[in-house]
Amino acid sequence: QVQLAESGGGLVQAGGSLRLSCAASGGSLSSYFLGWFRQAPGKEREFVSAISWSSGTTYYEDFAKERFIIYRDNVKNTVYLQMNKLKPEDTAVYYCAMKYDYGFAVPALTPADFGPWGQGTQVTVSS
């Protein structure tokens, strides 16, 4: 079974950038979506972005569209989330997860549609 491991979180000032990594091991990702989600204290886990490993098609939540970029490295079996112009409200634990890619034009991208999950990485943005 594929295992996912996130890294790259940390403390950054508002306006700064971070790049999160999600390394996959134990299997092929060619038929899957890799997604990023986040969960702030007291809030539900929410979708951030996802990428189809086979087609490279990307999806973003509205708050991420102008500031975040998701991309993959096929050789390293890793998906990245480049986060720019970070805001204090971006503070959360960021998780990566995967789901099978059925090839739907509009895939379901809620947390309930994904699994397995990585352990998460903390991102803290100070004002």
Give me the sign of the Cα torsion angle 108, 109, 112, 115. Answer: positive
3-state secondary structure at position 25: strand
Read off the pLDDT band of 106 (50, 70, 90).
Answer: confident
Model confidence over 18-58: pLDDT tens digits?
999 999 999 889 899 999 999 999 999 999 999 999 999 99
The secondary structure of 49-72 as a DSSP string is EEEETTT--EEE-GGGTTTEEEEE
Model confidence over 59-70: pLDDT tens digits?
999 999 999 999
Tokens for 125?
């943005």
Read off the pLDDT band of 107 (50, 70, 90).
Answer: confident
What's the whole-number mean pLDDT along residues 4-30? 95
For the CA atoms of 112, 83, 80, 64, the dihedral, rounded to the nearest 10 degrees, stands at 40
